[in-house]
Amino acid sequence: MSEPILSIRGLTKTYKGGIRALDKVDLDIRAGEIFALLGPNGAGKTTLIGAVCGLVRPTGGTMTAFGHDLARDWRAARARIGLVPQELATDMFETVWRAVTYSQGLFGKPYDAARLEEILKSLSLWDKKDAQIRALSGGMKRRVLIAKALAHDPELLFLDEPTAGVDVELRKGMWQQIAALKERGVTIILTTHYIEEAEEMADRVGIIRSGRILMVDEKHAMMERLGTTEAVIDLAAPLAALPPDIAAFPVELGEGGRRLIYRGGSAGEGGGRAEVAQLTQALTRAGIAYTTLDIHDSSLEDIFVGLLGEGEPA
Amino acid sequence: MHFNLRSALSIYRREMSRAFRTAFQSILSPVLTTSLYFVVFGSVIGARMEPIGGVPYGAFIIPGLLMLTLLGETTSNASFGIYMPRFTGTIYELLSAPVGVAETLAGFVGAAATKGLILAAIILGTATFFVDYQIAHPIFAALYIMLVAASFALFGFILGIWADSFEKLGIIPLLILTPLTFLGGTFYSIRDLPAPWDAVALANPIAFLVSGLRWTFYGTSDVPIAVSLGLTLGFLVLCVVIIAVIFRTGWRLRE
């Protein structure tokens, strides 16, 4: 595997008052991937991004981006990193064009009107280039923040809750834009509350809670490893006990013997669904009739909630 | 030492465009206020006053009035320039950019100092409508105004980082700089004060600045020009050191 584009080792941040926002975080980000960092409020997602981008002073650990130590060689590293913050923080009286021009120059890039035009067009902001930012809608303001972050063509882009407060249609449009960035070779780290967003876009997922990374894995591998399939089969007549052929499956009886509940398999690759198909064949062979069948694969959200629940103090 | 000129110019241009966007507040308002001073103290009252050190009263007060506006406006501009991004959250972009203390100061402080110089030129131009005056050492005057503008832009920058409310942002210019400038020999010569007030007046550092600028205008001053110059330079260096420490420690900038 190639060298990680970003490597974090033992990153710790303790705020005044003793709140430990990050606790010995280790994380490697691969070039070209979309990495989703999931965690509840106050888990340390924004602090982690802030530490890499220079907004937060870590109290311990090391960070290397593009082979540059972020503590010593921060200029070279930061020139290649972009950040879209969670808050809609823009100079409201500035025009869109001036805002992106400023960002391009601030990061040391020569003025390139053609590139800025390309970025604004890709984000459907070109017709708003002379509008003051305060006159734009919330979704447009967020896209202005993305345009500003892209103005210096970063190779690593942080998106902190990119679709917070954005309606469903716009959110899907933004997913397409993020996918297009990945196509262009930009490595993306995003934090999100919308787990479907991570499920839709991420190559790998990291789960963070109380400043600690609980798990990092390929999204599909995580779903396969931790996900399950649940099937609810309503029987035509109640069963007093399970016949041996049926009891061999991971099933249990419910609703006074009127319902058969299957929980098993791995959700990611459809293993559970295949086993449910075998179960229905076994029911037919055993002469057990059923009226309805409902199958549900656990989502990333189920896995996420389960993982966070496991570590909750009693 | 690294210095990214493009980054510095970007900050400078944005700050200047902010000034032109708020031209009434940044330029016209102080010009109007200073013009009123010239009308009242320069023309109306000044016409009845004795010359001070051979300089007609209306002309005598020009360096002090210039200093009054220069200190207030330069400090406010620089403090506002850095406080607003902190207040609105837009400072994230500056902090995440490959930009160090040198580019930041060149941009923010350079723009605040430029605005101060433009203001000084406009005030001096305005003064010609009310009083007759000539500048004895015009090059020295321009350099001294630049030095004072840069020093107080640095001071304002520190103020903008220190302040955590709009109230604090306004306190220093309003409650300290303005009274000290009034009492620093703007409308009178410190040498004319009775003892011990002449000595007490010299405890006011602004008195040295007003005196220094008056020397560049009329060749006479309450304190030697070298002392005024040394004090101003010392203040500038002190501000640069404080800002360097702020950037190294991230005080009030980085969490």
Strands of the A6-14 sheet, one edge to the other? A20-29, A6-14, A60-65, A68-69
**Nearest-by-CA chain A residue for B22:** A93
| Chain B contact for A109 (CB, 8 A cutoff) | yes
At residue B147, does pLDDT exceed 50? yes
The bridge status of strand A212-218 relative to strand A204-209 is: antiparallel
A3 compared with B14, residue with greater pLDDT: B14
Structure token pair of residue A238: 């109640």
User: Which positions in chain A touch B90 (Cβ < 8 Å)?
Assistant: 89-91
Give residue A269's pLDDT: 56
C-alpha to C-alpha distance for A32 and A39, rounded to whole angstroms: 22
User: Which positions in chain A touch B254 (Cβ < 8 Å)?
Assistant: 54-57
Residue A185: strand, helix, or coil: coil
| Average pLDDT score over residue span A199-216 | 89
Which range marks the domain in which residue B103 is found? 5-249
Give residue A310's pLDDT: 59
Contact A100, A151 (CB under 8 A): yes
Domain A228-297 has CATH 3.30.70: yes
The bridge status of strand A259-264 relative to strand A251-254 is: antiparallel
At residue B24, does pLDDT exceed 80? no
The bridge status of strand A68-69 relative to strand A20-29 is: unpaired
C-alpha to C-alpha distance for B231 and B42, rounded to whole angstroms: 29
Give residue A172's pLDDT: 81
| Chain A contact for B242 (CB, 8 A cutoff) | no
| Chain A contact for B3 (CB, 8 A cutoff) | no
Give the CA count within 13 Å in the CB-facing half-sphere of A34: 23
Closest residue by Cα to residue A60 from A46, A68, A71 = A71
- B172 Cβ contact list (under 8 Å, min separation 6): B75, B79, B159
Lowest mean pLDDT among A222-226, A283-287, B111-115, B116-120: A222-226
Place of tokens 């839709």: A200
Sign of torsion over alpha carbons B60, B63, B69, B71: negative
Mean pLDDT, chain B, integer: 90
At residue B17, does pLDDT exceed 80? yes
- A136 Cβ contact list (under 8 Å, min separation 6): A96, A128, A144
The bridge status of strand A229-235 relative to strand A290-297 is: antiparallel
**Nearest-by-CA chain B residue for A158:** B96
Residue A97, Ramachandran bin (φ over 0: left; ψ between -120 and 50: alpha; else beta): alpha
| Average pLDDT score over residue span A93-107 | 96
Q: What percent of chain B has pLDDT over 90?
A: 55
Q: How many domains does chain B have?
A: 1
Q: Which amino acid is at A170?
A: L
User: Which positions in chain A touch B17 (Cβ < 8 Å)?
Assistant: 98
pLDDT band (50, 70, 90) for residue A309: low
Closest residue by Cα to residue B160 from B96, B77, B67, B73 = B77
| Average pLDDT score over residue span A19-43 | 92
Per-domain residue ranges of chain A = 6-224, 228-297
pLDDT band (50, 70, 90) for residue B195: confident
Whether B126 maps to a domain, the answer reads: yes
How many CB atoms neighbour CB B106 within 10 A? 19
| Average pLDDT score over residue span A240-263 | 89
CB contact under 8 A, A106 and B94: yes
Give me the torsion for CA of B74, B79, B82, B87, rounded to 10°.
Answer: -140
At residue B192, does pLDDT exceed 90? no
B/e letters for B53-87, b = 16+ CB within 10 Å, e = fewer, are eebbbbbbbbbbbbbbbbbbbbbbbbbbbbbbbbb
Closest residue by Cα to residue A195 from A122, A303, A72 = A303
pTM for this entry:
0.85
C-alpha to C-alpha distance for A128 and A113, rounded to whole angstroms: 15
| Average pLDDT score over residue span A209-221 | 86
DSSP assigned state of B177: I
C-alpha to C-alpha distance for A207 and A287, rounded to whole angstroms: 46
CB contact under 8 A, A105 and B7: yes
Kindly report the three-state secondary structure assignment for every residue of B48-72.
HCCCECCECHHHHHHHHHHHHHHHH
Mean pLDDT, chain A, integer: 88
At residue A313, does pLDDT exceed 50? no
Residue A28: strand, helix, or coil: strand
C-alpha to C-alpha distance for A121 and A115, rounded to whole angstroms: 10
Selecting from A75, A83, A105 the residue whose C-beta is nearest the C-beta of B92 gives: A83
pLDDT in tens, B85-142: 999 999 999 999 999 999 999 999 899 889 888 989 988 998 898 888 889 999 999 9
Superfamily of domain A6-224 in CATH is P-loop containing nucleotide triphosphate hydrolases (3.40.50.300)
Contact B69, B33 (CB under 8 A): yes
At residue A303, does pLDDT exceed 60? yes
Q: Which amino acid is at A100?
A: V
**Nearest-by-CA chain B residue for A146:** B93
C-alpha to C-alpha distance for A119 and A109, rounded to whole angstroms: 15
ipTM over 0.85: yes
Contact A158, A127 (CB under 8 A): no
Whether B80 maps to a domain, the answer reads: yes
At residue A314, does pLDDT exceed 80? no
Give residue A92's pLDDT: 87
CB contact under 8 A, A106 and B100: no
Place of tokens 């064949």: A281
Give me the torsion for CA of B29, B34, B40, B41, rounded to 10°.
Answer: 160
How many CB atoms neighbour CB A21 within 10 A? 24
At residue A15, does pLDDT exceed 50? yes
C-alpha to C-alpha distance for A141 and A165, rounded to whole angstroms: 11
Selecting from A57, A87, A89 the residue whose C-beta is nearest the C-beta of B255 gives: A57
Give residue B220's pLDDT: 87
Angle at B246 between CA B77 and CA A14, to 5 degrees: 125
pLDDT band (50, 70, 90) for residue A312: very low
How many CB atoms neighbour CB B225 within 10 A? 19
Beta bridge partners of A229: A264, A297
- B67 Cβ contact list (under 8 Å, min separation 6): B148, B181, B184, B186, B206, B209, B210, B213
Residue B20: strand, helix, or coil: helix
**Nearest-by-CA chain B residue for A52:** B96
Residue A90: strand, helix, or coil: coil
Q: Which amino acid is at A207?
A: I
pLDDT band (50, 70, 90) for residue A270: low
Contact B181, B100 (CB under 8 A): no
Selecting from B2, B96, B98 the residue whose C-beta is nearest the C-beta of A55 gives: B96
CB contact under 8 A, A81 and B96: yes
- The secondary structure of A222-277 as a DSSP string is HHHHH--EEEEEEESS--SS--HHHHTSSEEEEGGGTEEEEEES-TTTTHHHHHHH
Give residue A266's pLDDT: 63
